[in-house]
Structure formats: structure tokens, C-alpha cells
Amino acid sequence: MKLTINGEIKEFTAQITLESMLEELHIKDQVMAAAVNMQIVKQNEWVTYKLSDGDKIELLDFVGGG
């Protein structure tokens, strides 16, 4: 299965949930928001949200500044 994550294509061997993908990429603790195909997915839905081949995922973290 191919997913585009922040503009970069990544391949996974099987269907995966959003949370499992973040864990596999070792970035779960860094991500504050996620959108799949331009739709925000709430954090409490990540564990059950199944990704599909060709999905486009944008992962965001928030940085404070001034």
C-alpha cells in the first residue's frame, strides 16, 4: 500500500490505521494534528481510522514562537 505523507511516498505491507502508521514511523508523539485527503481526523479516531492505498496524509505539529 502506498501513502503520500507530507508529500513523500511511503510504502506499507498491509492495511494500517493512522495510529499504527505514526507508531511505525516513530513520530506519534510529535504529531498534533492529522488530515487524510484534506479531512481532519480527530486524535481519538486515529486508533480506528483505516488508511487506504493512495491516501494523502498531512501531519502537523505546532511550534510556539513570537
Q: Is residue 65 part of a domain?
A: no
Confidence (pTM): 0.87
> Does some domain include residue 32?
yes
What is the span of the domain harbouring residue 6?
2-60
CATH of the domain at 56: 3.10.20.30
* H or E segment and range at residue 39: strand 39-41
Cβ neighbors of 17 (< 8 A, separation 6 or more) are 46, 47, 48, 49, 50, 51
Q: Is 51 part of a structural domain of the chain?
A: yes
- 13-46 per-position pLDDT tens digit: 889 999 999 999 998 888 889 999 999 999 999 9
pLDDT grade for 65, boundaries at 50, 70 and 90: low
Strand, coil or helix: what is 61?
A: coil
Number of domains making up the chain: 1
